[in-house]
Protein backbone atom coordinates (compact mmCIF):
# COMPACT_ATOMS: atom_id res chain seq x y z
CA UNK A 1 0.00 0.00 0.00
CA UNK A 2 2.85 2.35 0.86
CA UNK A 3 4.49 1.54 -2.48
CA UNK A 4 1.30 2.39 -4.35
CA UNK A 5 0.99 5.65 -2.42
CA UNK A 6 4.62 6.49 -3.17
CA UNK A 7 4.13 5.82 -6.89
CA UNK A 8 1.04 7.98 -6.93
CA UNK A 9 2.89 10.84 -5.25
CA UNK A 10 5.75 10.50 -7.73
CA UNK A 11 3.36 10.51 -10.69
CA UNK A 12 1.62 13.57 -9.26
CA UNK A 13 4.95 15.35 -8.86
CA UNK A 14 6.00 14.43 -12.39
CA UNK A 15 2.73 15.73 -13.80
CA UNK A 16 3.12 18.95 -11.82
CA UNK A 17 6.69 19.32 -13.05
CA UNK A 18 5.60 18.74 -16.65
CA UNK A 19 2.89 21.39 -16.29
CA UNK A 20 5.39 23.86 -14.86
CA UNK A 21 7.84 23.14 -17.67
CA UNK A 22 5.11 23.64 -20.27
CA UNK A 23 4.13 26.94 -18.70
CA UNK A 24 7.77 28.03 -18.63
CA UNK A 25 8.22 27.09 -22.29
CA UNK A 26 5.05 28.94 -23.26
CA UNK A 27 6.16 31.99 -21.28
CA UNK A 28 9.59 31.86 -22.90
CA UNK A 29 8.02 31.57 -26.35
CA UNK A 30 5.76 34.52 -25.59
CA UNK A 31 8.76 36.51 -24.38
CA UNK A 32 10.77 35.83 -27.54
CA UNK A 33 10.65 38.76 -29.95
CA UNK A 34 8.90 38.43 -33.29
CA UNK A 35 11.57 38.65 -35.96
CA UNK A 36 10.81 40.70 -39.06
CA UNK A 37 13.24 40.70 -41.97
CA UNK A 38 14.19 43.60 -44.20
CA UNK A 39 16.03 43.21 -47.50
CA UNK A 40 17.10 46.06 -49.78
CA UNK A 41 20.09 47.56 -51.54
CA UNK A 42 21.98 49.64 -48.98
CA UNK A 43 25.27 49.96 -50.82
CA UNK A 44 26.07 51.21 -54.30
CA UNK A 45 23.98 53.43 -56.55
CA UNK A 46 20.59 52.32 -55.16
CA UNK A 47 21.60 52.84 -51.52
CA UNK A 48 19.35 55.89 -51.18
CA UNK A 49 16.31 53.70 -51.74
CA UNK A 50 17.41 50.86 -49.47
CA UNK A 51 18.53 53.05 -46.57
CA UNK A 52 15.36 55.15 -46.68
CA UNK A 53 13.24 51.99 -46.75
CA UNK A 54 15.15 50.42 -43.88
CA UNK A 55 14.76 53.57 -41.78
CA UNK A 56 11.03 53.68 -42.45
CA UNK A 57 10.71 50.12 -41.14
CA UNK A 58 12.94 50.84 -38.13
CA UNK A 59 10.71 53.78 -37.22
CA UNK A 60 7.56 51.64 -37.53
CA UNK A 61 9.01 48.86 -35.38
CA UNK A 62 10.26 51.23 -32.67
CA UNK A 63 6.86 52.90 -32.59
CA UNK A 64 5.09 49.53 -32.34
CA UNK A 65 7.37 48.33 -29.55
CA UNK A 66 6.76 51.53 -27.58
CA UNK A 67 3.05 50.71 -27.81
CA UNK A 68 3.60 47.23 -26.36
CA UNK A 69 4.45 45.18 -29.44
CA UNK A 70 2.11 42.54 -30.86
CA UNK A 71 0.39 39.91 -28.71
CA UNK A 72 2.66 40.86 -25.83
CA UNK A 73 5.84 40.30 -27.85
CA UNK A 74 8.39 42.87 -28.99
CA UNK A 75 9.44 43.11 -32.63
CA UNK A 76 13.03 42.63 -33.77
CA UNK A 77 14.28 43.73 -37.17
CA UNK A 78 16.84 41.60 -39.02
CA UNK A 79 18.41 43.54 -41.91
CA UNK A 80 20.18 42.21 -44.99
CA UNK A 81 21.74 44.15 -47.88
CA UNK A 82 20.95 42.65 -51.31
CA UNK A 83 23.57 44.94 -52.94
CA UNK A 84 21.33 45.04 -56.05
CA UNK A 85 22.92 41.72 -56.99
CA UNK A 86 20.97 38.59 -57.96
CA UNK A 87 23.06 36.02 -56.10
CA UNK A 88 23.46 38.19 -53.03
CA UNK A 89 19.72 38.86 -52.92
CA UNK A 90 18.90 35.16 -52.86
CA UNK A 91 21.52 34.54 -50.16
CA UNK A 92 20.19 37.47 -48.14
CA UNK A 93 16.66 36.08 -48.15
CA UNK A 94 17.99 32.61 -47.32
CA UNK A 95 19.77 34.09 -44.31
CA UNK A 96 16.56 35.78 -43.18
CA UNK A 97 14.68 32.48 -43.40
CA UNK A 98 17.43 30.82 -41.34
CA UNK A 99 16.88 33.55 -38.75
CA UNK A 100 13.27 32.32 -38.60
CA UNK A 101 11.68 35.65 -39.48
CA UNK A 102 7.90 35.67 -39.56
CA UNK A 103 7.80 37.88 -42.65
CA UNK A 104 10.01 40.08 -44.83
CA UNK A 105 9.68 43.71 -45.86
CA UNK A 106 11.35 44.50 -49.18
CA UNK A 107 12.98 44.34 -51.58
CA UNK A 108 13.12 47.87 -52.96
CA UNK A 109 13.66 47.19 -56.68
CA UNK A 110 11.75 45.08 -59.18
CA UNK A 111 14.72 43.03 -60.40
CA UNK A 112 15.50 41.90 -56.87
CA UNK A 113 11.84 40.98 -56.29
CA UNK A 114 11.79 38.76 -59.37
CA UNK A 115 15.02 37.08 -58.21
CA UNK A 116 13.92 36.34 -54.63
CA UNK A 117 10.35 35.30 -55.44
CA UNK A 118 11.15 31.54 -55.81
CA UNK A 119 12.94 31.63 -52.43
CA UNK A 120 10.10 33.28 -50.51
CA UNK A 121 7.52 31.04 -52.18
CA UNK A 122 9.49 27.92 -51.29
CA UNK A 123 9.78 29.18 -47.71
CA UNK A 124 6.10 30.21 -47.63
CA UNK A 125 7.16 33.54 -46.17
CA UNK A 126 5.05 36.62 -46.74
CA UNK A 127 7.10 39.42 -48.29
CA UNK A 128 5.66 42.93 -48.53
CA UNK A 129 7.50 45.36 -50.81
CA UNK A 130 7.22 49.10 -50.29
CA UNK A 131 8.34 50.11 -53.78
CA UNK A 132 8.40 47.22 -56.28
CA UNK A 133 6.18 48.13 -59.24
CA UNK A 134 6.85 45.57 -61.97
CA UNK A 135 3.75 44.02 -63.55
CA UNK A 136 5.68 40.75 -63.92
CA UNK A 137 4.60 39.87 -60.38
CA UNK A 138 0.96 40.95 -60.71
CA UNK A 139 -2.09 38.69 -60.40
CA UNK A 140 -0.13 35.77 -58.94
CA UNK A 141 -1.24 33.62 -56.03
CA UNK A 142 2.09 33.71 -54.22
CA UNK A 143 3.74 35.12 -51.10
CA UNK A 144 4.70 38.47 -52.66
CA UNK A 145 2.56 41.48 -51.69
CA UNK A 146 3.14 45.22 -52.07
CA UNK A 147 1.80 48.61 -51.02
CA UNK A 148 2.47 50.56 -54.23
CA UNK A 149 0.69 50.38 -57.58
CA UNK A 150 2.11 48.58 -60.59
CA UNK A 151 4.14 50.61 -63.06
CA UNK A 152 1.58 50.22 -65.85
CA UNK A 153 -0.57 52.74 -63.95
CA UNK A 154 2.29 55.26 -63.88
CA UNK A 155 3.06 54.66 -67.55
CA UNK A 156 -0.51 55.30 -68.69
CA UNK A 157 -0.81 58.50 -66.66
CA UNK A 158 2.52 59.85 -67.88
CA UNK A 159 1.67 59.12 -71.52
CA UNK A 160 -1.52 61.12 -71.11
CA UNK A 161 0.40 63.98 -69.49
CA UNK A 162 2.98 64.05 -72.30
CA UNK A 163 0.54 64.01 -75.21
CA UNK A 164 -2.72 65.51 -73.98
CA UNK A 165 -1.47 68.16 -71.55
CA UNK A 166 1.92 69.09 -73.02
CA UNK A 167 1.28 68.33 -76.71
CA UNK A 168 4.52 66.36 -77.05
CA UNK A 169 4.48 63.41 -79.41
CA UNK A 170 8.02 62.15 -80.01
CA UNK A 171 9.72 60.73 -76.94
CA UNK A 172 13.21 59.32 -76.40
CA UNK A 173 13.68 56.81 -73.57
CA UNK A 174 16.90 56.05 -71.69
CA UNK A 175 16.78 53.09 -69.32
CA UNK A 176 19.02 51.07 -67.02
CA UNK A 177 18.96 47.34 -67.77
CA UNK A 178 20.45 46.43 -64.38
CA UNK A 179 16.87 46.76 -63.10
CA UNK A 180 15.36 45.32 -66.26
CA UNK A 181 12.22 43.92 -64.58
CA UNK A 182 11.29 47.52 -63.81
CA UNK A 183 12.71 49.59 -66.65
CA UNK A 184 12.04 47.36 -69.64
CA UNK A 185 8.48 46.75 -68.54
CA UNK A 186 8.09 50.52 -68.03
CA UNK A 187 9.29 51.17 -71.59
CA UNK A 188 6.87 48.64 -73.06
CA UNK A 189 3.82 49.94 -71.20
CA UNK A 190 4.73 53.56 -71.83
CA UNK A 191 5.30 53.01 -75.56
CA UNK A 192 1.95 51.26 -75.91
CA UNK A 193 0.08 53.93 -73.93
CA UNK A 194 1.84 56.71 -75.84
CA UNK A 195 0.85 55.18 -79.15
CA UNK A 196 -2.77 54.98 -78.03
CA UNK A 197 -2.60 58.71 -77.25
CA UNK A 198 -1.17 59.53 -80.68
CA UNK A 199 2.51 59.76 -79.75
CA UNK A 200 5.46 57.42 -80.19
CA UNK A 201 8.78 56.40 -78.70
CA UNK A 202 11.24 57.21 -81.47
CA UNK A 203 14.56 56.44 -79.74
CA UNK A 204 15.56 54.04 -76.97
CA UNK A 205 18.97 53.97 -75.31
CA UNK A 206 19.93 51.38 -72.71
CA UNK A 207 22.86 51.21 -70.30
CA UNK A 208 24.01 49.20 -67.30
CA UNK A 209 24.40 51.28 -64.16
CA UNK A 210 27.91 51.57 -62.79
CA UNK A 211 30.82 53.96 -62.28
CA UNK A 212 32.23 53.34 -65.76
CA UNK A 213 29.13 54.34 -67.75
CA UNK A 214 29.44 57.47 -69.92
CA UNK A 215 26.23 59.43 -70.42
CA UNK A 216 27.38 62.19 -72.77
CA UNK A 217 27.35 59.98 -75.92
CA UNK A 218 23.80 58.89 -75.06
CA UNK A 219 22.69 62.49 -74.62
CA UNK A 220 24.31 63.52 -77.91
CA UNK A 221 22.56 60.75 -79.87
CA UNK A 222 19.20 61.77 -78.45
CA UNK A 223 19.89 65.44 -79.14
CA UNK A 224 20.54 64.57 -82.78
CA UNK A 225 17.15 62.86 -83.08
CA UNK A 226 13.77 64.52 -83.58
CA UNK A 227 12.64 63.78 -80.01
CA UNK A 228 10.76 66.56 -78.24
CA UNK A 229 10.86 64.96 -74.76
CA UNK A 230 13.01 62.46 -72.84
CA UNK A 231 12.00 59.79 -70.32
CA UNK A 232 14.79 58.66 -67.98
CA UNK A 233 14.29 55.31 -66.25
CA UNK A 234 17.12 54.81 -63.79
CA UNK A 235 18.12 55.37 -60.18
CA UNK A 236 18.42 58.87 -58.74
CA UNK A 237 22.16 59.28 -59.28
CA UNK A 238 22.16 58.08 -62.89
CA UNK A 239 19.06 60.14 -63.69
CA UNK A 240 20.76 63.23 -62.24
CA UNK A 241 23.95 62.61 -64.23
CA UNK A 242 21.96 62.11 -67.42
CA UNK A 243 20.09 65.35 -66.81
CA UNK A 244 23.40 67.15 -66.37
CA UNK A 245 24.57 66.00 -69.80
CA UNK A 246 21.43 67.30 -71.50
CA UNK A 247 21.87 70.56 -69.63
CA UNK A 248 25.49 70.89 -70.80
CA UNK A 249 24.33 70.43 -74.39
CA UNK A 250 21.79 73.23 -74.01
CA UNK A 251 18.77 70.97 -74.34
CA UNK A 252 15.33 72.45 -73.78
CA UNK A 253 13.51 69.14 -74.04
CA UNK A 254 11.26 68.38 -71.05
CA UNK A 255 12.63 65.57 -68.88
CA UNK A 256 10.42 62.93 -67.28
CA UNK A 257 11.32 60.14 -64.91
CA UNK A 258 9.93 57.34 -62.79
CA UNK A 259 9.21 57.18 -59.08
CA UNK A 260 12.48 55.25 -58.65
CA UNK A 261 14.58 58.37 -59.24
CA UNK A 262 12.58 60.78 -57.10
CA UNK A 263 14.71 60.70 -53.97
CA UNK A 264 16.75 63.52 -52.48
CA UNK A 265 19.81 62.17 -54.31
CA UNK A 266 18.21 63.32 -57.57
CA UNK A 267 18.33 66.93 -56.39
CA UNK A 268 21.68 66.60 -54.60
CA UNK A 269 23.45 65.22 -57.68
CA UNK A 270 21.37 66.95 -60.34
CA UNK A 271 21.10 70.50 -59.05
CA UNK A 272 19.54 72.92 -61.54
CA UNK A 273 19.73 70.31 -64.30
CA UNK A 274 16.79 68.40 -62.81
CA UNK A 275 14.56 71.43 -62.24
CA UNK A 276 11.30 70.91 -64.09
CA UNK A 277 11.64 67.11 -64.23
CA UNK A 278 8.33 65.41 -63.47
CA UNK A 279 7.00 62.00 -62.53
CA UNK A 280 3.88 60.31 -61.17
CA UNK A 281 4.30 59.33 -57.56
CA UNK A 282 2.60 57.34 -54.78
CA UNK A 283 4.10 59.94 -52.45
CA UNK A 284 2.48 63.34 -51.92
CA UNK A 285 5.22 65.83 -51.04
CA UNK A 286 2.54 68.40 -50.13
CA UNK A 287 0.50 66.12 -47.88
CA UNK A 288 -1.13 67.73 -44.85
CA UNK A 289 -2.51 64.45 -43.53
CA UNK A 290 -2.08 64.61 -39.72
CA UNK A 291 -0.76 61.02 -39.63
CA UNK A 292 1.93 61.88 -42.17
CA UNK A 293 2.87 65.16 -40.48
CA UNK A 294 3.35 63.39 -37.14
CA UNK A 295 5.43 60.71 -38.84
CA UNK A 296 7.49 63.33 -40.70
CA UNK A 297 8.29 65.18 -37.48
CA UNK A 298 9.24 62.02 -35.59
CA UNK A 299 11.26 60.60 -38.48
CA UNK A 300 13.25 63.82 -38.87
CA UNK A 301 14.05 63.83 -35.16
CA UNK A 302 15.05 60.16 -35.22
CA UNK A 303 17.19 60.05 -38.38
CA UNK A 304 18.13 63.67 -39.08
CA UNK A 305 16.63 63.85 -42.56
CA UNK A 306 13.13 64.34 -43.93
CA UNK A 307 11.33 61.21 -45.15
CA UNK A 308 10.58 60.83 -48.86
CA UNK A 309 8.60 58.21 -50.77
CA UNK A 310 10.70 55.14 -49.88
CA UNK A 311 10.50 55.81 -46.12
CA UNK A 312 6.78 56.58 -46.24
CA UNK A 313 5.95 53.47 -48.28
CA UNK A 314 8.22 51.32 -46.10
CA UNK A 315 6.38 52.56 -43.03
CA UNK A 316 3.09 51.72 -44.78
CA UNK A 317 4.40 48.25 -45.64
CA UNK A 318 5.44 47.63 -42.03
CA UNK A 319 2.17 48.93 -40.58
CA UNK A 320 0.18 46.83 -43.05
CA UNK A 321 2.18 43.77 -42.01
CA UNK A 322 1.61 44.54 -38.32
CA UNK A 323 -2.15 44.66 -38.93
CA UNK A 324 -1.97 41.12 -40.30
CA UNK A 325 0.18 39.94 -37.39
CA UNK A 326 -2.30 41.43 -34.91
CA UNK A 327 -4.89 39.04 -36.37
CA UNK A 328 -2.51 36.12 -36.74
CA UNK A 329 0.93 36.37 -35.05
CA UNK A 330 2.42 33.42 -36.93
CA UNK A 331 3.89 32.70 -40.35
CA UNK A 332 1.21 30.16 -41.26
CA UNK A 333 -2.00 31.92 -42.23
CA UNK A 334 -0.43 35.39 -42.27
CA UNK A 335 -0.97 35.84 -46.00
CA UNK A 336 -4.70 35.16 -45.60
CA UNK A 337 -4.93 37.59 -42.68
CA UNK A 338 -3.34 40.35 -44.76
CA UNK A 339 -5.47 39.77 -47.85
CA UNK A 340 -8.62 39.79 -45.71
CA UNK A 341 -7.87 43.39 -44.76
CA UNK A 342 -8.88 44.44 -48.33
CA UNK A 343 -8.12 48.09 -47.58
CA UNK A 344 -5.67 49.86 -45.32
CA UNK A 345 -5.11 53.39 -44.06
CA UNK A 346 -1.66 54.57 -45.13
CA UNK A 347 0.24 57.59 -43.86
CA UNK A 348 -0.93 59.79 -46.72
CA UNK A 349 -3.77 57.90 -48.40
CA UNK A 350 -5.73 54.68 -48.15
CA UNK A 351 -5.03 51.78 -50.47
CA UNK A 352 -7.03 48.74 -51.53
CA UNK A 353 -5.56 45.24 -51.64
CA UNK A 354 -6.83 42.62 -54.08
CA UNK A 355 -6.74 38.84 -53.66
CA UNK A 356 -3.25 38.67 -55.16
CA UNK A 357 -1.72 41.32 -52.91
CA UNK A 358 -1.65 44.01 -55.62
CA UNK A 359 -2.94 47.44 -54.64
CA UNK A 360 -4.81 50.48 -55.87
CA UNK A 361 -3.83 53.89 -54.53
CA UNK A 362 -3.76 57.48 -55.73
CA UNK A 363 -0.81 58.75 -57.79
CA UNK A 364 0.39 62.35 -57.74
CA UNK A 365 2.04 64.30 -60.56
CA UNK A 366 5.21 65.62 -58.96
CA UNK A 367 7.73 68.12 -60.35
CA UNK A 368 11.17 69.24 -59.18
CA UNK A 369 10.74 72.95 -58.51
CA UNK A 370 13.71 75.03 -57.30
CA UNK A 371 15.31 72.08 -55.53
CA UNK A 372 12.07 70.78 -53.98
CA UNK A 373 9.52 68.13 -54.89
CA UNK A 374 6.14 69.74 -55.48
CA UNK A 375 2.83 68.08 -56.30
CA UNK A 376 1.03 69.80 -59.17
CA UNK A 377 -1.90 67.40 -59.61
Task: Give which of 169, 147, 165 is closest to 227, Cα–Cα.
Answer: 169
What pLDDT does residue 235 have? 95
Provide, rounded to the nearest whole percent, the portion of the chain with pLDDT above 90.
Answer: 88
Residue 240 clears pLDDT 70, i.e. is over it: yes
HSE-CB of 149 using CA atoms within 13 angstroms: 23
pLDDT band of residue 179 (cuts 50, 70, 90) is very high
CA of residue 97 relative to chain centroid, distance: 20
Please state, as a whole number, how many other Cβ atoms lie within 10 Å of the Cβ of residue 10: 10
Strand, coil or helix: 28: helix
56 CB burial (10 A radius; 0-12, 13-18, 19+): buried
What pLDDT does residue 342 have? 85
Domain residue spans in the chain?
32-149+287-361, 152-281
Residue 17 clears pLDDT 70, i.e. is over it: no
Residues in Cβ contact with 355 at an 8 Å cutoff, skipping those fewer than 6 apart: 141, 339
**pTM of the entire structure?**
0.88
Provide, rounded to the nearest whole percent, the portion of the chain with pLDDT above 70.
Answer: 92
Mean pLDDT of 226-243: 97
pLDDT in tens, 309-360: 999 999 999 999 999 999 999 999 999 999 999 889 999 999 999 999 999 9
Q: What are φ and ψ of residue 343, in 5° steps?
A: -140, 155
Residues 182, 109 contacting (CB under 8 angstroms)? yes
Task: Give which of 129, 45, 37, 132 is closest to 83, Cα–Cα.
Answer: 45
Q: Rounded to whole angstroms, how far apart are CA atoms 233 and 29? A: 47
E-strand stretches of 297-377: 343-345, 350-353, 359-360, 364-369, 372-375
What pLDDT does residue 2 have? 52
What pLDDT does residue 300 have? 97
Q: Rounded to whole angstroms, how far apart are CA atoms 337 and 117? A: 20
Q: Rounded to whole angstroms, how far apart are CA atoms 229 and 116? A: 35
Residue 5 clears pLDDT 80, i.e. is over it: no
CATH number at 32-149+287-361:
3.40.50.2300
Residue 20 clears pLDDT 80, i.e. is over it: no
| Element spanning 21, H or E | helix 2-31
What pLDDT does residue 30 have? 55
Alpha helices in 171-235 (DSSP H): 180-196, 216-223
Task: Give which of 160, 226, 158 is closest to 186, Cα–Cα.
Answer: 158
What pLDDT does residue 23 have? 40
Q: What are φ and ψ of residue 134, in 5° steps?
A: -60, 140
Count of residues making up the chain: 377
pLDDT in tens, 132-175: 999 999 999 999 999 999 999 999 999 999 999 999 999 999 99
Instruction: Say yes or no: do domains 32-149+287-361 and 152-281 share a fold.
Output: yes
| Dihedral angle, C-alpha 330, 333, 338, 339, nearest 10 ° | 170
E-strand stretches of 32-108: 34-40, 75-81, 103-105
pLDDT band of residue 9 (cuts 50, 70, 90) is very low
Average pLDDT, the chain: 92
Residue 8 clears pLDDT 80, i.e. is over it: no
DSSP 70: B
pLDDT band of residue 35 (cuts 50, 70, 90) is very high
pLDDT in tens, 96-145: 999 999 999 999 999 999 999 999 999 999 999 999 999 999 999 999 99
Please state, as a whole number, how many other Cβ atoms lie within 10 Å of the Cβ of residue 297: 11
CATH T-level fold of 152-281: Rossmann fold (3.40.50)
What pLDDT does residue 15 have? 53
Residues in Cβ contact with 194 at an 8 Å cutoff, skipping those fewer than 6 apart: 159, 162, 163, 171, 200, 201
Amino acid sequence: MKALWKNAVQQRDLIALAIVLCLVLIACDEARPMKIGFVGGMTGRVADLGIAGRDGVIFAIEEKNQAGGIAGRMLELVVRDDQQDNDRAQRAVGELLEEDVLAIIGPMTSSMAVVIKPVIDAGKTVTVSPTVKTDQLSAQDDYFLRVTVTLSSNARLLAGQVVDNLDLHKVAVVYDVSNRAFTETWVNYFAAALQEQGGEVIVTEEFTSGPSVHFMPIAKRIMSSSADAVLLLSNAIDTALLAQQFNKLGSRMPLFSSEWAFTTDLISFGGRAVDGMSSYHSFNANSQNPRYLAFKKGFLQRFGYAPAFASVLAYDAASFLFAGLEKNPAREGLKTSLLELESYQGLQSDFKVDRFGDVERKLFLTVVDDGQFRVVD
